[in-house]
Amino acid sequence: MKFARALLLATLPLTLGLAACGDKTDAAGGEAASAEPIAKIAAPAGKSWTETFAATPEGGYVMGNPDAPIKLIEYGALSCSHCAEFSEKGFPKLRDDYIASGRVSYELRLFLLNALDMPAVLLASCGSPEATIPLSEQFWGWQKNMFANLQKDEAAFQRVSTLPVDQRFAGIAQLSGMSEFFASRGIAAAQGSACLADTAKATKLAATTEQWSKEYDITGTPTFFLNGNKTTVGTWAELEPLLQKAGAR
């Protein structure tokens, strides 16, 4: 795949202030019978499941018990306001009540929806695998500031978006405030610049998004899979009952 084509999904046009997320209007998550309650699973001595992280072969990042009987996957975009809402309203309880119990593992697969997502993902995954999920959750909490920064000068954003790819990601990151945001959270300026210039990784991220889109029919974010089955829910209020139904109660 040529580099320009591989980056196609990362350079889609963006209307500032509007989330490029999928609408989740059907809250049904499947009609499978409720599973038996699953007992909590203790983490190894001196460890916590909420501090257990790993990168996955599929290109995601997992938090929690790697052998958890209930496996949750989120396809989420850092530019998506619906993902930010889930992060705010659902992630703390998901982490503290479900992942911490050892019964549920959570895998985040960062999806590219538009021109903002590539530099955001390059920076969020610039450090160790242990940092990617926490940085992503913090970014979603900060997300409104990104849009506010870009709305100050939309013409400048359009100019930056047309720069050659080896300059575009750094330009967007600087204009949006991403560079400063991640620098304040341990991604030093030089480290961030190197990650933003990593065209090989950018190509792989774009190709992975394209693969996920086709293989798993990901048309919007957030999209959740529970134990390998695609759900049609998009909020914590809809997702929590499915976790409980699967045995996390």
**Cβ distance 58 to 109 under 8 Å?**
yes
- Is the distance from CB of 78 to CB of 120 less than 8 angstroms? yes
For 205, residues 6+ apart whose C-beta sits below 8 A from its C-beta are 10, 59, 110, 112, 118, 121, 122
**Phi, psi for 66 (deg, rounded to 5):** -65, -20
pLDDT band at 76 (very low <50, low <70, confident <90, very high): very high
> The domain 3-9+54-245 is classified under which CATH number: 1.10.1140.10, 3.40.30.10, 3.40.120.10, 3.30.479.30?
3.40.30.10
What is the average pLDDT score of the chain? 89
Mean pLDDT of 238-242: 98
pLDDT of residue 144: 97
Per-residue confidence (pLDDT) for residue 15, from 0 to 100: 42
Residues 219-232 have pLDDT tens digits of: 999 999 999 999 99
Contact 234, 86 (CB under 8 A): yes
**Percent of the chain residues topping a pLDDT of 90:** 82
Q: How many CB atoms lie within 10 A of CB 78?
A: 28
The pLDDT assigned to 17 comes to 39
Per-residue pLDDT tens digits for 84-120: 999 999 999 999 999 999 999 999 999 999 999 999 9
List phi, psi (to 5°) of 63. Answer: -120, 135
Sketch the domain layout of the chain as residue ranges: 3-9+54-245
Which helix (H) or strand (E) is 62 found in, with range? strand 61-63
Residue 36: DSSP 8-state: P
pLDDT per residue as tens digits for the range 175-225: 999 999 999 999 999 999 999 999 999 999 999 999 999 999 999 999 999
Mean pLDDT on 46-63:
97
**Please, which pLDDT band fits residue 161 given cuts at 50, 70 and 90?**
confident
- C-alpha 49/C-alpha 104 separation (Å) is 10
